[in-house]
Structure 1
Amino acid sequence: MTISLKEAGEIHQVRIHSNLSDCKSSLDASSPFCNPIFLDALEEQLCVGGNTGWQPHHIELPDHQIVIPSYIKQHSYGEYVFDWAWADAYQRYGVEYHPKLVTMQPFTPITSNKHLGRNLNASLIKQWVDSVYTVCEQQQLSSWHCNFIGKDLADEFAELGLMTRHGVQFEWLNKGYQDFNDFLASFTSRKRKNTNKERRSAQQNVDAIHWKIGADIDSAALDAFYLCYQATYLKRGQQAYLSLAFFKQLCENMGESMLLVVAEKDQQIIASALFFFDDSNLYGRYWGSVQQTDMLHFELCFYQGIEFAISRGIKRFNPGTQGEHKLLRGFEPITTYSSHYVKRSDFSAAIADFCLQERMQMAQYKQQCLQLLPYKQSCD
């Protein structure tokens, strides 16, 4: 589908694609999740599309070789910027909230670029927003949500009239640590003892812990990981979003950006955690276990990740969304940003007030989180 936008007397073409492969030529990747390989695998292995409630609806600005991977959503699952209250309000007034348009990497609450291609300037951002307004009007979509973006882009969107929401995640920052003990030296004595106790408890209950990267992630290790991953969802009575075929395709095409940490007991993998990384960032994404083992989640998902980041000189480690328990293990609170457009003016005023109140609450929550960090006073 092609849309024509008129701006300052010029006509700009916008194309809409139901497959990223139709528009990905010459596009770069600013993070593992903004990589066309990652997004293609979601489509090719039917993790999106079909009856998943994530219908690819990618926006291309062909004159500038920019693509904004986006999806028409029939529900609000897998986004991690929760708008259930908004949908409930619509329902109470007999108005449909879904479908809506979402711009983010599906199931991936990571702050990163949400476009592929050249850097954006103010004119291109306005074209992006204008194209979204047109898509929402033509497709009868209630709203648009651009989740987990940088502060600068959120500020640009706010200048154009979009609403901003804040959230809080927890990240570990590498402050030039030489090894894990050097990192622990920044903790207070009591918190340092607690961490060492947790690590001993986890490591004493397994036979070995291994790192696997690229070709080391063989089919047996990946099968075992997927069994653990599925088991974690099944314990909560849910179905995993991602398929084994998806992970296999990623291993084949971007395995050198993937770290699998596995714990073995009696020559069997009983727990594993899958990470993605680049030169500057480590991302903890998927975890699972087929055997309840004390403190093993913290060991595989947090402490092994910190050790890996230190060994590689990686500056930032995002272990995944939510969880105040990360604070006691050295992960600091950071603000996340998302931008939102609601088509109906009779709802937008109330939602704008909600966003304002939420931003104030998040600022207060972040300050409370800072008080729980384990660092010595001089390291705060």
Structure 2
Amino acid sequence: MQPTGMAAEAASILRVRALRGLSEIGAAAWDACATSAETLSGGDETCNPFVSHAFLSALEESGCVARRTGWLPLHVVVERGDTLIGAAPCYLKSHSQGEYVFDHGWADALERAGGSYYPKLQVSVPFTPVTGPRFLIAPGEDPEAAVSAIVAGLRAVRKETEASSIHVTFMREREWTQAGALGFLQRTDQQFHWENEGYAGFEDFLAALASRKRKVIRRERRDALSDGITIERLTGSDLREEHWDAFHAFYVDTGARKWGSPYLNRRFFSLIAERMADRILLVMARRDGRYIAGAINFIGDVALYGRNWGCIEDHPFLHFEVCYYQAIDFAIARGLKRVEAGAQGEHKLARGYRPVLMHSAHDIAEPAFRRAVADYLRRERAHVDAAVDALDTLTPFRRGGGGPESSES
């Protein structure tokens, strides 16, 4: 029976809520939005593991994401009556750590001008520089209307929390365009991804490279294992607590040396192993009977996402083998379209990874500061476009097409 009169009007009213954690919403409802055709339209993914209820809730339940870490969950949900129509993973931030889209200069400028940059709202997956959906739309909803409602909800939460701004990072290009039409400032950056051109195996990939580059990679792979190192690839039921004990030790040691305070604790790794082991690829290096290095990857339906690496022994080229070459080998074997190897790193070019654009959108409340940032972003986008074009000429692939060169080169 269809509602009529006042009942029909009430049923059409949208309600915005800010959830203090994923425990306040069912996994099925959240994941239905995260994997809907409306959310993923225009891309090639059918599942992004990082916006799943399992991954995001593991960050919260482990304590990696909480008020004390500067990531207070305020997930925005839009409902029509009792029906969820859209959501956004959102956090109230008291700093700019763990985001990989750097706005420290913006914060400094506003503070020098007498303003307060923090708190701010961050729509993202914490500690995860991976493009994925940020505006999650329920099946059957109109995408444009749902995104407009989500953005209106974010702006209402920004006003309520007296946050300076809203930042939507590592978003899909379609969402970036939608956000721009709704008044967000648009920003671009770059990453390096490996693309699977239908290779039959790693040697087939190497055959697409210039001879000199191919020889370098073969030598690096050989030298990486020259000290009696062996490699294990673990996923699903093969993952055990002993592997996580070792990997967490690598992660903490390397993270402490690189940025001072690693973001992820030991409990987080156990939780994701319980909830999504089939979506995890752990590449581990062993020498003299003990693990010495490892890298964690997450498996999507079309891509392999490289995330964190760590080691307790330094060996030449072992980082390249564990993080890049093993990922390529696995992606080819699984028939995945690409490997996304995380943030930064022009050294990835020589390993067959290509530059690609990343997208973020920013909504700044203070008018004069907004104008200054808008001017900066216009110039930055032109610089990023030029940099991507220039870097794309530095890839190791052979020029001019033609058949593969001899694998004896």
Band the TM-score falls in, shorter-chain normalisation: over 0.9
Partner of 2:362: 340
CA separation in 2, counterparts of 1:117 and 1:128? 9
Partner of 2:78: 61
**Are positions 1:107 and 2:109 aligned together?**
no
Tell me if structure 2 keeps the 8 A contact 1:213–1:260.
Answer: yes
Pairwise CA distance, 1:235? 2.0
Tell me if structure 1 keeps the 8 A contact 2:244–2:270.
Answer: yes
Unpaired stretches in structure 1, ≥5 consecutive residues: 1-6
Partner of 2:48: 31
Residue identity matched to 2:321: E
**1:209-224 superposed matches below 5 A:** 209-224=231-246
> CA 1:379–1:348 in structure 2 vs 1: closer, same or farther (change >3 Å)?
farther
Residue identity matched to 1:138: E
**Are positions 1:46 and 2:63 aligned together?**
yes
**1:168-187 superposed matches below 5 A:** 168-187=190-209
Tell me if structure 1 keeps the 8 A contact 2:137–2:146.
Answer: no
Partner of 1:201: 223
Cα-to-partner distance string for 1:74-105 (whole Å, 9 max, x where unaligned)? 00001111111110111111111000000000
Partner of 2:272: 250
CA separation in 2, counterparts of 1:178 and 1:73? 45
Residue identity matched to 2:360: S
Pairwise CA distance, 1:206? 3.4
Tell me if structure 2 keeps the 8 A contact 1:27–1:65.
Answer: no
Tell me if structure 2 keeps the 8 A contact 1:20–1:69.
Answer: no
> CA 1:80–1:329 in structure 2 vs 1: closer, same or farther (change >3 Å)?
same
Cα-to-partner distance string for 1:189-235 (whole Å, 9 max, x where unaligned)? 00000111111100212331111111211111111111111110122
**Are positions 1:328 and 2:331 aligned together?**
no
CA separation in 2, counterparts of 1:194 and 1:203? 15
Pairwise CA distance, 1:379? 5.1
CA separation in 1, counterparts of 2:107 and 2:309? 30
Residue identity matched to 1:11: I
Residues matched between the structures, number:
372
Pairwise CA distance, 1:27? 2.5
Q: Secondary structure at the match of 1:303?
A: helix
CA separation in 2, counterparts of 1:254 and 1:292? 30
Partner of 1:260: 282
CA separation in 1, counterparts of 2:336 and 2:354? 16
Pairwise CA distance, 1:115? 3.7
CA separation in 2, counterparts of 1:308 and 1:339? 33
Partner of 2:167: 145
Partner of 2:6: none
Cα-to-partner distance string for 1:50-95 (whole Å, 9 max, x where unaligned)? 3100000010112243221100000000111111111011111111
Tell me if structure 2 keeps the 8 A contact 1:47–1:241.
Answer: yes
Tell me if structure 2 keeps the 8 A contact 1:27–1:117.
Answer: no
Partner of 2:383: 361
Tell me if structure 2 keeps the 8 A contact 1:147–1:338.
Answer: yes
CA separation in 1, counterparts of 2:326 and 2:401? 22
Residue identity matched to 1:26: A
CA separation in 2, counterparts of 1:335 and 1:27? 28
Pairwise CA distance, 1:11? 3.5
Tell me if structure 2 keeps the 8 A contact 1:208–1:263.
Answer: yes
**1:123-134 superposed matches below 5 A:** 123-134=145-156
**1:62-101 superposed matches below 5 A:** 62-63=79-80, 64-101=84-121
RMSD over equivalenced CA pairs, Å: 1.5
- Greater shift, 74-83 or 152-161, is seen at 152-161
Residue identity matched to 2:77: E
CA separation in 1, counterparts of 2:134 and 2:239? 29
**Are positions 1:19 and 2:21 aligned together?**
yes
CA separation in 2, counterparts of 1:112 and 1:66? 15
2:177 is aligned, of 155, 158, 167, to 155
Cα-to-partner distance string for 1:138-171 (whole Å, 9 max, x where unaligned)? 2100000000111111111111111000000000
Tell me if structure 2 keeps the 8 A contact 1:18–1:55.
Answer: yes
Pairwise CA distance, 1:237? 5.7
Q: TM-score, normalised by structure 2?
A: 0.88
- Greater shift, 98-107 or 228-237, is seen at 228-237
Pairwise CA distance, 1:117? 4.5
